[in-house]
A and B are shown apart, each in its own frame.
Chain A
Amino acid sequence: MDEFLNITQQLLTGFGENCFLFIITLVSAIPLGLIISMGSMSRFVPLKAVTKTFVWIIRGTPLMLQLFVVFYVPPLMSDGEFVFSRMNAAIVAFIINYAAYFSEIFRGGIEAVPKGQYEAGQVLGMTKTQIFFKVILMQVIKRITAPVGNEVITLVKDTSLASVIAIPEILMNAKDFSMEGLIWPLFYSAVFFLLFCGVLTILFSFLEKKLNYYKG
């Protein structure tokens, strides 16, 4: 029993790293993703091209590789002069990666709003900014709740990828136990992910219900 509590505690410490990475990534990647989606819908062609290329590169390469690039390339290029801390490197890589995915979800959501909604706003004499924030945005949020929820749940599990740059997250801790001859902590770590994702699932279905005020 002592062993069980001790291992639970150590896995929990590791899961703290996962949660930290998860929260920071989520709160930064969503606004950044919105900005990027604006870029990829821009009528200013160079900006649109740059943004599209950026999204293509980020979505087209494995997150694991991006982690390596962010953590190892700066010190390799500068002979050890510029180094991110491991966690900062992971945060940067995750934010950029998830912002790219979110931006595409947002773009889809924004483009799915019928033109008539913009025209209605114009008829009422609203400015473009007013139309976006007062008429369009809520409709977008409604449409993208499910895909965003999907992405958020993927993020929870993706945080364990941070172990490739030796962040002592839960799976890495669990693997250490198997080095000492204990296998079950590796499988036990699933419980932590399941609980966390369970809470998120409930949260998102609640959110969807709340937003289900008008079927359109």
Chain B
Amino acid sequence: MKNFKRLTALVMAGVMSAAVMTACSTDKSKTTDTKDSSSDWSYIADKGEFVIGITYFEPMNYKGEDGKLTGFETEFAEKVCAKLGVTPKFQKIDWDSKEVELKSKTIDCIWNGMTINDERKKNMDISTPYMENKQVMVAKKDVAESIKTADDMKGKTVVAEKKSAGEEVAQGEDFFKSATYISVDSQAKSLLEVKSGTADVAVIDYVMSIGSLREGSDYSDLAVVESQGFAPEQYGIALRKDSPETLKKLNEAIQAVADDGDLDKIADKYNLKDLLLVKGK
């Protein structure tokens, strides 16, 4: 019995140390020498690949009929990466973990219709604002028509994505003072809340509402509240904090794509041309 136990003890120790070792040494092939070239840009340029953190949402990044990734941001990013001389790699992420993903270098940027706000500016480097966005209220059609003034919000439940620009509006604007606020973990879920009747009004990105409320979708019985719009805001691309070189190159590349007229063309294709902020020369 003693021998057997001793053997088990040895095996145990072996397995545990093996587990620790593998935890420390996996996937070395993927890493590049970041030690000599400390700048963020040389890290990206060395591996030749720009890993773009996205979530799927129409019309920014989504799977087309043929199953291929497409959308305004997808095409825009492809053009910009061509200018930068790197290959774009679209990595689907969990939006809640985007800052950790960026910091741990599992992605190189967040480029997915991200609204610029103070908190994000403080934690990340943000590109030139390239597109305008606003927050809109979405409700069931009859409710949407009935909302005219702040008084109409009395007794209504408002839902928005946690930590989103929509949440800022729903909690900060006087218009929502008399309403109850709840938060969910995604914009899609806030629409689901309205659709199922557990909330009355969702505050979401205007751009998101274009994709979700289209004819033939399950949300086609919802509508944007036309009487009220909220302060416009801007979309930007987030890079790791303190990466001035990457930021400069990215901004130049964005301008170059605009100068070529490609940005206009892509925006036009997705009906977003009116919202563009970067104009070509």
Contacts and interface: CB of A to CB of B under 8 A. Distances in A.
A and B held together in a complex: yes
B104 A72 contact: yes
A74 interface: yes
Interface stretch (A42-50, A145-153, A206-214): A42-50
A103 B191 CA distance: 43
A36 to B, nearest CB: 7
Nearest to A79: B34
Contacts of A88: 26-27
A179 B12 contact: no
A71 B107 CA distance: 13
Task: Determine the main DSSP class of A at the interface with B.
Answer: helix
Instruction: Tell me what chain B mostly uses at the interface: helix, strand, loop, or mixed.
Output: helix
A38 B8 contact: yes
A183 B218 contact: yes
A81 to B, nearest CB: 5
Given A35-B15, A76-B104, A181-B211, A129 B27 contact: no
Interface string B1-19: 1011110110111011001
Interface stretch (A15-23, A162-170, A197-205): A162-170
A178 interface: yes
Interface residues of A, number: 48
Nearest to B108: A80
A98 to B, nearest CB: 14
Interface of B: 1, 3-6, 8-9, 11-13, 15-16, 19, 22-28, 30-31, 34, 43, 55-58, 62-63, 67, 91-94, 97, 100-101, 103-106, 186-189, 191-192, 195, 211-214, 217-220
Given A83-B31, A88-B27, 14 more contacts: A35-B15, A42-B5, A71-B106, A72-B97, A75-B104, A80-B34, A80-B105, A82-B26, A83-B26, A83-B105, A92-B22, A164-B97, A166-B93, A181-B211
